[in-house]
């Protein structure tokens, strides 16, 4: 009799233990779990809603697509919601990371979504969450309902982080239009500026070959953003000047000693800046290619009116002296651009800059224009 009671007691105890373990497991799941609902497919530009259910200790959720961040939202009553419109077609690998109040990762979920349709190019739109959403209003930047279209053009450029938060790269601001220039386009650019460079080279006795090579290299043969949207072929800046006559190269890495305010920084170091409060990425806008080249020669090389902060006119004078004394044109041109680079035109120094410029001169036989 006692043995049966013991067995019965053992069974009852095991049942109670099992129930307790199930209850503990449920409480643990409730504490750390993270789930998300969203559609498996979407088209480019279509708003996709991500609906989250989170455990008690999840305070924030970070959302990643491939290697880029889509943002961070706060939870409220174990719920959160984010809406996002993808700007490029592909199968996106998604990762959702639950973060505790102590900034620890407590849960990770994975998924994917197939985005189809035609790329929006340089425009990506991030929609605001609904007004009852718990999206973060502090600690994380609000880039909601932001669009970054470039001025009207058929050319398209690889995106910056502001233009596409998950594929954008800050270094893309320095790239040329996608698919450009072709070899024919490069030669056409040089042929177009050749008469201007020769005319100004003869007038002021500076090397036309260097003028042409600088324009080609600095502007990607006319296909950089500055060249396309500002007729600026030499990266001529306009610090704290008349912004109505300047073009802002949004997304450019900080060139203001780390003082540019940051709205958002991704895990792989890509940055969305506060473009409304920076002086370092404004470039002088010119009405034509000729006007830009004239500025280089007359203001940068000759210091004609003092519109350019540095005075290189003595370098131009030395070049004239070399040519008059019979120094070989190629050697004189190299010395000229080396001296300009060494004097501060580029932060990389005279030799680096001169070697690159003269490679363009060599490639296209530009020395014959001097």
Interval 175-194: pLDDT, tens: 999 999 999 999 999 999 99
Least confident of 45-49, 239-243, 261-265, 329-333: 239-243
Instruction: Name the strands in the sheet holding 105-116, side by side, starting at the edge strand that comes first in the sequence.
Output: 41-43, 105-116, 90-99, 60-65, 68-74
Same domain, 321 and 192: yes
27 assigned to some structural domain: no
Residue 156 lies in a domain: no
In this predicted structure, the answer to whether residue 138 has a pLDDT above a threshold of 70 is no
Mean pLDDT computed over every residue of the chain = 82
Domain holding 257, by residue range, is 173-369
Cis peptide before 181 (omega within 30 of 0): yes
Domain stop point among 132, 147, 162: 147
Q: Are residues 211 and 308 in the same domain?
A: yes
Domain boundary among 97, 132, 147: 147
- Whole-number pLDDT of residue 242: 63
Q: Is 228 exposed, middle or buried (0-12, 13-18, 19+ CB in 10 A)?
A: buried
Question: Is 305 in the same domain as 355?
Answer: yes
Contact (CB, 8 A) for 68 and 139: no
Residues 132 and 187 in one domain: no
- 210 and 307 together in one domain: yes
Question: How many domains in the chain?
Answer: 2
Residue among 77, 211, 83 nearest 143 (CA)? 83
Beta bridge partners of 90: 115
3-state helix, strand, coil in the chain (%, to 5): 40, 20, 40
Q: 308: alpha, beta or left, given left = phi > 0 and alpha = psi -120 to 50?
A: beta
Q: Is residue 191 part of a domain?
A: yes
302 in Cβ contact with 313 (< 8 Å): yes
Q: Would 3 be classed as within a structural domain?
A: no
Per-residue confidence band for 362, with pLDDT thresholds at 50, 70 and 90: very high
Residue 15 pLDDT > 90, yes or no? no
55, 50, 51, 94: which is closest to 78 by C-alpha?
55
State the distance between the two ends of the chain, measured CA to CA, in whole angstroms. 117
Query: Chain centroid to CA 39: how far?
Result: 29
Residue 348's alpha-carbon distances to 251, 272, 356, 358, 366, in angstroms, are 22, 26, 11, 15, 24
pLDDT band at 67 (very low <50, low <70, confident <90, very high): low
Domain check: are 345 and 217 in the same one?
Answer: yes
Residue 89 to residues 44, 47, 179, 262, 281: CA-CA distances in angstroms?
6, 14, 19, 28, 30
Shared domain for 314 and 215, answered yes or no, is: yes
Q: Looking at residue 133, what is its pLDDT?
A: 34
User: Within this chain, do residues 223 and 77 fall inside the same structural domain, yes or no?
Assistant: no
Residues 201 and 245 both lie in one domain: yes
Whether 131 and 198 map to the same domain: the answer is no
| 271: helix, strand or coil | strand
Q: Of 112, 147, 182, which marks where a domain is finished?
A: 147
Looking up residue 95, the CATH number of its domain turns out to be 2.60.40.10
Q: 55 lies in a domain?
A: yes
Q: Is residue 106 part of a domain?
A: yes
- Same domain for 211 and 249? yes
Judged by average pLDDT, the poorest of 19-28, 89-98, 160-169, 320-329 is 19-28
Residue 6, in any domain of the structure: no
Q: How many residues are given for the chain?
A: 370
**CATH classification at residue 196:** 1.10.530.10
| Residue 13 covered by a domain | no
Whether residue 93 sits in one domain with residue 187 = no
């Amino acid at each position: 009799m006692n043995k049966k009671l013991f067995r019965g007691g053992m069974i009852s105890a095991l049942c109670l233990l099992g129930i307790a373990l199930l209850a503990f497991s449920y409480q643990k799941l409730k504490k750390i779990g993270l789930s998300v609902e969203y559609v498996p497919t979407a088209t480019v530009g279509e708003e996709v809603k991500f609906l989250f259910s989170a455990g008690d200790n999840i305070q924030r959720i970070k959302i990643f697509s491939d290697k880029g961040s889509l943002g961070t939202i706060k939870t409220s009553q174990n719920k959160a919601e984010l809406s996002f419109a993808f700007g490029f077609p592909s199968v996106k690998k998604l990762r959702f990371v639950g973060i505790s109040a102590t900034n620890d990762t407590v849960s990770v979920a994975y998924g994917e979504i197939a985005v189809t349709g035609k790329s929006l190019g340089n425009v990506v739109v991030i929609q605001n969450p609904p007004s009852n959403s718990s999206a973060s209003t502090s600690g994380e930047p609000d880039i909601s309902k932001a669009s970054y279209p470039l001025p009207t053009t058929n050319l398209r450029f690889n995106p910056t982080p502001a233009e596409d938060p998950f594929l954008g790269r800050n270094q893309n601001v320095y790239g040329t239009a996608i698919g450009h220039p072709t070899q024919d386009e490069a030669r056409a650019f040089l042929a177009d500026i050749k008469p201007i460079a020769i005319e100004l080279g003869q007038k002021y006795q500076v090397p036309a070959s260097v003028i042409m090579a600088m324009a080609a290299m600095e502007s990607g043969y006319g296909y950089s953003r500055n060249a396309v949207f500002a007729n600026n072929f030499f990266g001529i800046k306009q610090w704290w000047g008349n912004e109505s006559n300047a073009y802002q190269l949004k997304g450019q890495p900080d060139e203001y000693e780390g003082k540019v305010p940051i709205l958002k920084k991704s895990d792989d170091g890509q940055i969305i800046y506060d473009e409304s409060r920076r002086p370092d990425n404004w470039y002088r806008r010119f009405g034509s290619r000729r006007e830009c080249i004239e500025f280089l020669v007359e203001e940068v090389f000759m210091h004609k009116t003092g519109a350019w902060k540095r005075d290189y006119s003595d370098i131009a004078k030395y070049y004239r002296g070399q040519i008059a004394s019979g120094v070989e044109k190629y050697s004189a041109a190299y010395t000229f651009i080396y001296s300009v680079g060494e004097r501060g035109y580029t932060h990389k120094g005279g030799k680096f800059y001169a070697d690159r410029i003269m490679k363009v001169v060599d490639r296209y036989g530009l020395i014959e224009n001097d």
